[in-house]
């Protein structure tokens, strides 16, 4: 059914979905830390709003709760923590150079197409009005991974990780009107702990390799210097 047949709220919901996807691309393109964090916060906020809309449309009151949860966590708390960390680690002015930024963005676009293609069978099954957004959520997940792959700064990787979480959250909301509450809570708890731990790790990294550049983390590997020690078989 075309967009026109949908009522306004649905249309708005789809709009927000599109915006969420857009923020993912923004993050993908954003090279400076603080704006990156802000973009992430925006994504969280948009996500929360979209969830609230879904709640309103589909009359699932418990979704309001998860919307609130998402907002508090993903739009306020986590960005705030990350920002503070960035400041305390004095990396909030740093920016990093991405190799072939254009290629990365094109790849991201390709991922969107791919995820649409993959989720097509699912979409055809669903009769929820929100079904088209499953592709979007999966795209957000994949884009998050792409972000992690393309960045060298630990903070950026964390944000990528979080945006994957966002994608999942969004998927849960739009595909199935949210998971059972207990699961939602569990996930939220895990995410929170994860962020805290990430914070701990920033400092640990800082003190061990005094940098947050994950490229420096390459001591543990099996490439060729092992060969010299490898004694002849017999």
User: Rule CB under 8 A: which residues touch other proteins?
Assistant: 114, 117-122, 125-126, 138, 141-142, 145-146, 148-149, 152, 154, 157, 161, 164-165, 167-168, 171-172, 175-177, 179-180, 182-183, 186-187, 189-190, 193-194, 197-198, 200-201, 204-205, 207-209, 214-215, 217-224, 226-227, 229-234
Evaluate whether 133 touches 46 at the Cβ level (below 8 Å): no
Q: Return the SS3 of 231.
A: coil
**Residue 231 CB partners (closer than 8 Å, separation 6+):** none
In the complex, least distance from residue 89 CB atom to other proteins, rounded to whole angstroms: 15
Toward other proteins, which CB reaches closer, 19 or 154?
Answer: 154
Please report, for the chain, how many H helices and E strands are present, in that order. 9, 0
Evaluate whether 216 touches 209 at the Cβ level (below 8 Å): yes
100 DSSP 8-state letter: S
In the complex, least distance from residue 146 CB atom to other proteins, rounded to whole angstroms: 8
In the complex, least distance from residue 223 CB atom to other proteins, rounded to whole angstroms: 6
Among all chains, which residue has been given the structure tokens 């249309």? 11
In the complex, least distance from residue 205 CB atom to other proteins, rounded to whole angstroms: 6
Evaluate whether 22 touches 42 at the Cβ level (below 8 Å): no
In the complex, least distance from residue 232 CB atom to other proteins, rounded to whole angstroms: 7
Alpha-carbon distance of 117 to 103, in angstroms, equals 21
Toward other proteins, which CB reaches closer, 46 or 174?
Answer: 174
- Residue 202: which of 77, 61, 59, 92 has the closest Cα? 92
Toward other proteins, which CB reaches closer, 97 or 218?
Answer: 218
Tallying the residues shown for the chain, one arrives at: 234
């Amino acid at each position: 059914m075309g967009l026109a047949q949908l009522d306004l709220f649905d249309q708005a919901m789809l709009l927000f979905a599109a915006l969420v996807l857009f923020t993912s691309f923004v993050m993908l393109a954003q090279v400076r830390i603080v704006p990156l964090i802000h973009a992430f916060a925006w994504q969280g906020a948009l996500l929360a709003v979209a969830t609230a809309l879904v709640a309103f449309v589909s009359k699932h009151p418990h979704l309001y709760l998860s919307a609130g949860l998402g907002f508090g966590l993903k739009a306020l708390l986590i960005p705030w923590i990350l920002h503070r960390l960035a400041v305390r680690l004095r990396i909030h002015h740093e920016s990093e150079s991405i190799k072939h930024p254009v290629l990365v963005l094109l790849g991201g676009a390709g991922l969107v197409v791919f995820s649409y293609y993959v989720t097509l069978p699912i979409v055809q099954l669903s009769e929820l009005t929100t079904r088209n957004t499953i592709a979007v959520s999966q795209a957000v997940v994949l884009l998050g991974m792409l972000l992690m792959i393309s960045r060298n700064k630990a903070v950026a990787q964390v944000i990528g990780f979080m945006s994957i979480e966002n994608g999942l959250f969004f998927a849960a909301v739009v595909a199935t009107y949210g998971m059972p509450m207990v699961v939602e809570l569990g996930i939220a708890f895990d995410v929170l702990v994860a962020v805290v731990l990430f914070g701990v790790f920033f400092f640990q990294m800082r003190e061990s390799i005094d940098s947050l550049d994950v490229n420096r983390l390459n001591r543990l590997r099996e490439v060729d210097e092992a060969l010299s020690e490898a004694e002849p078989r017999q």
